[in-house]
A and B are shown apart, each in its own frame.
Chain A
Amino acid sequence: MLRSSQAGDETDWVARVQRGDREAFTPLVERHERRVRSLVYHLVRRRDEVEDITQEIFIKAFKNIRSYNGESSFGTWLGRIAVNHCYDYLRREQKARVSYHWQMPEEAGRRMEENLEQQQPLSVEEEIALRDLAAKLLERAPADDRVILSLKELEDRSVEEIAELLDLRVNTVKVRLHRARKRMLEDLKRWRQGR
């Protein structure tokens, strides 16, 4: 959350950019770059693309800055642009879906599940396998599910924040989250049955 003086600075910078002062965009980029980059990385999960996509989002924000009317904070407005941009990217990319395989023998998988149940620490190999599995489950999920799950589980955003970013009602977000989780677990179950 921005302090009031910071928010005041931000309003001033936005107003200057809206009047055509490009230099005033620099502090806005500096202030929000980390947040946008994290969002992009968690939604898209392509290390090699994060910088380019983040740059595209800032340029899009600059082009549309006159449509920003201060109804929400600049960060939320920028977040919406970022989510929509990532969503478009995912829809384009998902044409080439990858299939996954979990590189873990059945016995080792069962041992890991027991460790998880008893809340025991995992080995490095188990952690790598789990991370790989979760990443592949997200890759395989439809773009809508992937965005909402990433915002909740990776970005750790509250349901209210997600509702603001996606321009949805809080209850709709809850329902969509539940369905997205369920679909992801069904996918995991299908994978188990095919193992």
Chain B
Amino acid sequence: MRCEEFEERLGELESVDLPAPLREHAAGCAVCRGYLRDWRVARAGLRLLAAEPVPEVSVGFAARIVRQLEETAPVRASEEFLEHVGRRFVYASLALALTVLLFLLLPSSGPLRAPTTADRYWAGPETFAAENDLVLNNDSASNQAVVPNAGEGSEETSK
């Protein structure tokens, strides 16, 4: 018998008498003997708790409840339905608003992003200086491919 099975079967026991297979396993397994000892303690304590008398309610309990109900009306089924559906609608709207907000706030990212007009604008004068750089412009055609509008810049310079 595995220890796990021992624990499961012990939990399902109604009486405190151990069946033979459980007794045999406990005799040969120190871990399960410890588990069995704790189980006996906890179970005995729970049995004692269960036997404790439940406190009584004070006299006139039912009448007091009914008096209190005069200020309370049962929730109508339609109200309950609307409340249920309404709550779902609010949650769905909030989730949608949050998604849109995240979409607007987070910048697009990734290695394939193409430079936009705004990027070029914010890049500042250094970029334009590079475009007009004679060394770059006089270099091979590959440089012209790397630097945007490099060809146009060189034409303007030669003019």
Contact = CB atoms under 8 A, between A and B. Distances in A.
Interface of A: 17-18, 20, 22-23, 25-26, 29-30, 33-34, 37-38, 41-42, 45, 47, 50-51, 54-55, 58-59, 62-67, 112-113, 116-117, 119, 122, 127, 130-135, 137-138, 149, 153-156, 177-178, 181-182, 184-185, 188-189, 192
Contact of B63 (A26, A65, A131, A153): A26
Contacts of A122: 44
A24 to B, nearest CB: 9
Contact of B55 (A25, A41, A119, A133): A41
Given A42-B50, A154-B46, A185 B80 contact: no
B66 to A, nearest CB: 5
Interface of B: 7-8, 11, 16, 34-35, 37-50, 52, 54-55, 57-58, 61-66, 68-70, 72-77, 80
Given A41-B55, A130-B44, A182-B7, A62 B50 contact: no
Contacts, number: 137
Contacts of B80: 64, 66-67
Q: Is the interface of B mostly helix, strand, loop or mixed?
A: helix
30 contacts: A29-B66, A33-B57, A33-B62, A34-B54, A38-B54, A41-B55, A42-B49, A42-B54, A47-B55, A50-B55, A54-B57, A55-B65, A59-B65, A62-B69, A63-B73, A64-B75, A66-B74, A66-B75, A67-B77, A116-B40, A130-B44, A131-B45, A132-B45, A134-B45, A134-B48, A134-B49, A137-B45, A149-B46, A153-B47, A181-B42
Contacts of B65: 25, 29, 55, 58-59, 62
A16 B140 CA distance: 95
